[in-house]
Amino acid sequence: MPRAPEFIALSDAAVRAVAGASSRHAALIEDAFGVLLETPGGGVSLGGDAKSRAAAKRAIEAIAGRADQGLETSEADVRVAIGQARAVSGRAPAARASVAGEAPLPVGRRGQVAPKTAAQARYLKALSDCEMVFGLGPAGTGKTFLAVAHGAGMLLRGEVDRLIVSRPAVEAGERLGFLPGDLSEKVDPYMAPVWEALSDILGPDQLRRRREKGEIEVVPLAFMRGRTLNHAYVIVDEAQNASRLQMKMVLTRLGEGARMAITGDPTQIDLASPADSGLAHAVGLLEGVKGIAVTRFSAEDVVRHPLVERIVKAYDADAAKRGRTV
3-class secondary structure, 100: coil
State which residues form the domain around 203.
Answer: 107-321
Do 79 and 137 belong to one domain?
A: no
Which residues share a beta bridge with 110?
none
Supply the pLDDT for residue 100.
40
Helix residue ranges per DSSP H, 175-301: 183-187, 192-202, 204-212, 244-251, 278-286
Is residue 65 within 8 Å of 97, Cβ to Cβ?
yes
Cα separation, 18 vs 213, whole angstroms: 43
Residue that finishes a domain, picked among 88, 116, 140: 88
Do 296 and 165 belong to one domain?
A: yes
What letter represents residue 72's amino acid? Answer: E
3-class secondary structure, 167: strand
Supply the pLDDT for residue 185.
63
- CATH at 270: 3.40.50.300
Residue 124 lies in a domain: yes
Do 31 and 114 belong to one domain?
A: no
Per-residue pLDDT band for 92 (boundaries 50, 70, 90) equals very low
| Angle, CA of 135, 141 and 146, to the nearest 5° | 60
For the beta carbon of residue 118, count every other beta carbon within 10 angstroms. Answer: 17
Do 120 and 252 belong to one domain?
A: yes
Do 76 and 111 belong to one domain?
A: no
Residue 130 lies in a domain: yes
Do 11 and 136 belong to one domain?
A: no
Which of 6-20, 131-145, 176-190 is least confident? 176-190
- CATH at 60: 3.30.1370.10
Is residue 304 within 8 Å of 80, Cβ to Cβ?
no
Residue 187 has pLDDT above 70, yes or no: no
102-149 pLDDT, tens digit each: 556 665 555 567 787 888 889 999 999 999 999 999 888 889 889 998
Do 187 and 222 belong to one domain?
A: yes
Instruction: Report the pLDDT averaged over residues 276-294.
Output: 93
Supply the pLDDT for residue 94.
43
Half-sphere exposure of 33 (CA within 13 A, CB side): 33
For the beta carbon of residue 254, count every other beta carbon within 10 angstroms. Answer: 18
Which of 61-75, 86-100, 151-165 is least confident? 86-100
Q: How many domains does the chain have?
A: 2
Residue 5 has pLDDT above 50, yes or no: yes
What letter represents residue 295's amino acid? Answer: T
225-269 pLDDT, tens digit each: 888 889 999 999 999 999 999 999 999 999 999 999 999 998 888
For the chain, how long is the longest CA-to-CA vector? 76
43-53 pLDDT, tens digit each: 999 998 888 99
Supply the pLDDT for residue 222.
82
Instruction: Report the pLDDT averaged over residues 87-116.
Output: 55
- Give the whole-number percent of the chain exceeding pLDDT 70: 81
Do 73 and 116 belong to one domain?
A: no
Instruction: Work out whether strand 107-108 and strand 259-264 pair parallel, antiparallel, or are unpaired.
Output: unpaired
Supply the pLDDT for residue 182.
62
Residue 123 lies in a domain: yes
Residue 221 has pLDDT above 90, yes or no: no
Is residue 93 within 8 Å of 82, Cβ to Cβ?
no
Residue 67 lies in a domain: yes
Is residue 295 within 8 Å of 287, Cβ to Cβ?
no
Supply the pLDDT for residue 112.
62
Q: Is 44 left (phi over 0), alpha (psi -120 to 50) or beta?
A: beta
